Chains A and B, each alone.
Chain A
Amino acid sequence: MSEDHILRVTDLRIAYGRVQVLHGVSFDVPAGALVAIVGPNGAGKSSTLSAIAGGVAAAGDVRFDGRPILGLKPEAIARSGLSFVPEGRHVFASLSVEENLRIGTFMRGDRPRAERDLQLVLNYFPKLKERIRQAGGKLSGGEQQMLVIGRALMTQPKLMLIDEPSLGLAPRIVEEVYAILHRLRSQEGVSILVNEQSSRRVMNFVDEIIVLRDGRVQLKGRPSDLAKSHALHDAYFGTGTFDRDSGEAVH
């Protein structure tokens, strides 16, 4: 098994009751890469990330850092260095910004290290510094998104899974969030896997794109290669001729 892959997903299958939402999905995340899964609503993107993080029961094989993690408890997976930011942000509204951030450090018990991490995160997200004592629920949408990414960072992850970081954010804030993710990848060496509905937003930032539709991987590749052809558009919409909503995909 090659160790330059931080995450290997092989034949991942998920069913809710009798409804199969994922029909054997396989992909890798290279160590130190920023990878995006894109696909329309209901493609199975969120289920994929939840399953990797231990939130949804699934079949198949998921290896994180070479170790199988499928079937472990969510907290055990988090403690092994995989941090998941689910869709909808999930800020602890009644906890202060600082308490929100500190949750991620309790599993280590290394206080001086935790202090350094807190400073690091606050350097990445200066806005959070100003609001450190405020209740998490009082932050704006963009600030909450920064808070949950910062919070996930506090666990010192080797890999972060982020479900739709751009959801409900203004385009300018989305740019800001992705710029930070990009910096995290290059400066801290964190591997990152994000989900997005629209490929347009992530094209300029990510190293690799995986197109997921109807619970199957339709296409994988580097954004620069995909952008040249119609393949991305076709994979996303599942047709070569259907061209109506072309605003969503990039040619």
Chain B
Amino acid sequence: MRLINFAHGEFVTVSAYALIVPTADVTAKLFIGGWSWPLLILAILAFGMAIALLSNLLVFRRLRNAAPQNLMVVSFALGYIIQNLLMMVYGARPKAIGLWSSLTQATELGGIRIPLLQPVTIGVTLLLLLAILFFMRKTSFGIQMRAAAEDFRMARYLGVRADFVIALSFALSGLLAGVVALLYVVQTGLLAPTMGVNIVTFAFIATVIGGMGSLPGAVLGGLLVGIATSLLQAYLPDSIRAFRDAFVFLFVILLLLVRPSGIIRLKQFEERV
């Protein structure tokens, strides 16, 4: 909904912390994380959705007509609040957590040894992409969301319920935050109150260079950032390899200079004079 949601990272963090018992102890005791896996996945996804919907209900819904920069500041403030509440409850120190550690063990796949988690991550991502694509193209909710994303006012004149569409997009983003939380925790085995921020910085950059408001753009942007990062990691001379991330961001600025509206430009942005 044209909202750059800086609190999204905190949606991820909160979903991840829901795995453990809320205490400030250094060692993490599994809470939802101890449930059987189908239940666990459902619970975390539901949790991500709930937190996203709740922030819509309490905050964003009341700021429907606010200027984009105000919304950005508000989402930043919301993220800040969530992050600090988490620290109050769980303590500021990172915690180790072993969730499905069998997934991180290396297995033989087509002659190469890789952690099982990697194909699982790729599979889950592809599956999700297909699911989102189907949802956006083939269901009436998806079509309404695309229409509203393009011209919110006009969509309302055609009977599309504003509150509903916005709630739906928050729910969807919360659900995806839950997925990211699970994948990330399994991979790193760590929980930290600031974990979401780093993930989202990259995601944000990827979306922007791909073309905001475009799903293929976001995918393309994500791939590009990933590829650029690993290429730089492999080919930068040793002496400046430490500056890899700095180069990635430089690359982002260059890309923006060439294509300010992202790689995949949307029709409605082009047609306006």
Contacts and interface: CB of A to CB of B under 8 A. Distances in A.
Interface string A58-88: 0000000000000001110011000111100
B206 to A, nearest CB: 20
Contacts of A92: 146-147, 150-151, 154-155
B156 A73 contact: yes
B257 interface: no
Contacts of A135: 267
A75 B144 CA distance: 13
A92 B136 CA distance: 14
A94 B146 CA distance: 8
A104 interface: yes
A137 B143 contact: no
Nearest to B162: A75
Interface in A96-144: 99-100, 102-104, 106-107, 135, 137
Interface of B: 140, 143-144, 146-147, 150-151, 153-162, 266-268, 271
Interface string A12-52: 00000000000000000000000000000000000000000
A55 B146 contact: no
Contacts of A74: 153, 156-157
Nearest to A98: B143
B265 to A, nearest CB: 11
17 contacts: A53-B157, A73-B156, A74-B156, A78-B159, A83-B157, A85-B157, A90-B154, A92-B147, A93-B150, A94-B150, A94-B266, A94-B268, A99-B146, A99-B147, A103-B144, A106-B159, A135-B267
Contacts of A152: 158
A153 B214 CA distance: 29
A151 interface: yes
A95 interface: yes
A219 B160 CA distance: 36
A155 interface: yes
